[in-house]
Amino acid sequence: MLSIKGLTKVYGRKTKAVDNLSIEIEDGEFVAFIGTSGSGKTTALRMLNRMIEPTDGVVTINGMETKKMDPVELRRKIGYVLQQVGLLPHMTIKENIVLVPKLLKWPQERKDEKAKELIKLVDLPESFLDRYPSELSGGQQQRIGVVRALAAEQDIILMDEPFGALDPITRDTLQDLVKELQKKLGKTFVFVTHDMDEAIKLADKICIMSHGKVVQYDTPDNILKNPANDFVRDFIGENRLIQDRPNMKTVEKAMIIPKTVNIDDSLDHAVSIMREYRIDTILITNKSQKLLGYLDIEDIKEGVRKKAELIDIMQRDIYRVNINSKLQDSVRTILKRNVRNVPVVEDDNKLVGLITRASLVDIVYDSIWGDDEEVQTSDPSKDIGVDI
């Protein structure tokens, strides 16, 4: 059992990074420390293996006070997974895996056996043992990072945002893998995250922290049913919405240049442009490129039947986003309002771009596969139009 009593870390004179943290972690439990940045969750985790020395408080592992142990010995007994993996680049995967066993002076055969056993555990081929970290992908490296923490048969594994640097799909697979490992091996896992969904998915118990203090420590179900206060409520809500968004700051990077017609143009002209570029919606601007409205295929049918002018049938009620707004907000709009696309305007309502569902698909595609291969850009004629 891992028992933490009154754990405190003070930086300088006043700043309390962790303030009187007291929780009990049973053997074989999967516990998540969660909080916003600066909540002290990482500091708390790092005090458990004395990577950071506590200012005050007692941590006991199975009745043994960590304070009284040699920090080097202590760290060899506790597995640790870093966010940035931190494999040693000059050592093979095998040497990386059996780093702690080597420090503990295990015989060679036992080390070899362990390395083979562990690499199987994370579904990687044995031939990887002789490779070097730079030959592996990020996700594969983190798999090795995880088993490295298990190599010396540690009973407690600490993980500092272990999946934070991975793309959504890899992250998901690794989360499943770690959960499965934890169930299979029955070890105590303590991990830090800022992703509520990750915490809910993995943890048996969640410790929500804010300003160095524990706000709530309970099972995910209980936290979701009975949030201790507004902070917890906000935290759950906010994070469940934010998770898994493409990591792009403003809409500018995702937008495409839309096809437009002038307000004074004829309806026929608009139709011919739409036909030429195979688009179903067209934006309407005035001479100085200010956005006035849009026309979609339904409007045009109607208009042609009534022989109306473009200016009479265009839709003036149009949702738009500012060029500086965050991409995640426009994603929300597109999904919630079920619109096909959102025009992007500058402060003075000048049309500069367009976010479409298709361009969002491209972003997701890029963020997942973009690094591995050259992403084929779509046909330029499509790029300027409004795709369906």
CB nearer other proteins, residue 85 or residue 300 = 85
Interface pattern 53-72 for other proteins (x via CB under 8 A): -------------------x
Cα gap 281→296, rounded to integer Å: 4
* Coil, strand or helix at 229: coil
Query: What DSSP line would sit under 340-382, residue for residue?
Result: SEEEEE-TT-BEEEEEEHHHHHHHHHHHHHTTTSPPPPPPHHH
Q: How far is the CB of 2 from other proteins (least distance, A)?
A: 17
- DSSP for residue 49: T
* Coil, strand or helix at 46: helix
The partner residues of 344 in beta bridges, in order of sequence, read: 321, 353
Interface pattern 68-107 for other proteins (x via CB under 8 A): ----xxxxxx--x-x-xxxxxxxxx------xx--x----
Q: Which amino acid is at 56?
A: D
Q: How far is the CB of 348 from other proteins (least distance, A)?
A: 46
Q: Applying CB under 8 A, does 109 fall inside the site for other proteins?
A: no
Joined tokens for residue 335: 């999904």
Question: Strands 321-322, 188-193: parallel, antiparallel or unpaired by DSSP?
Answer: unpaired
Nearest Cα to Cα of residue 204 among 184, 225, 189, 185: 189
Among 49, 175, 239, 330, binds other proteins (CB under 8 A): 49
Which listed range, 127-135, 177-185, 210-218, 258-266, lies at the site for other proteins (CB under 8 A)? 127-135
Cα gap 242→255, rounded to integer Å: 20
Joined tokens for residue 108: 């060679």
Among 40, 133, 246, 293, binds other proteins (CB under 8 A): 133
CB nearer other proteins, residue 61 or residue 99 = 99
Task: Calculate ∠ Cα 89-93-97, nearest 5°.
Answer: 105
* Coil, strand or helix at 30: strand
Interface pattern 140-179 for other proteins (x via CB under 8 A): --------x-------------------------------
CB nearer other proteins, residue 103 or residue 388 = 103
* Coil, strand or helix at 243: coil
Q: How far is the CB of 85 from other proteins (least distance, A)?
A: 7
Q: How far is the CB of 157 from other proteins (least distance, A)?
A: 11
245-304 binders of other proteins (CB under 8 A)? none
Q: How far is the CB of 136 from other proteins (least distance, A)?
A: 9
Q: How far is the CB of 88 from other proteins (least distance, A)?
A: 6
Q: How far is the CB of 32 from other proteins (least distance, A)?
A: 19
Point out which residues bind other proteins (CB under 8 A). 49, 51, 72-77, 80, 82, 84-92, 99-100, 103, 132-135, 148
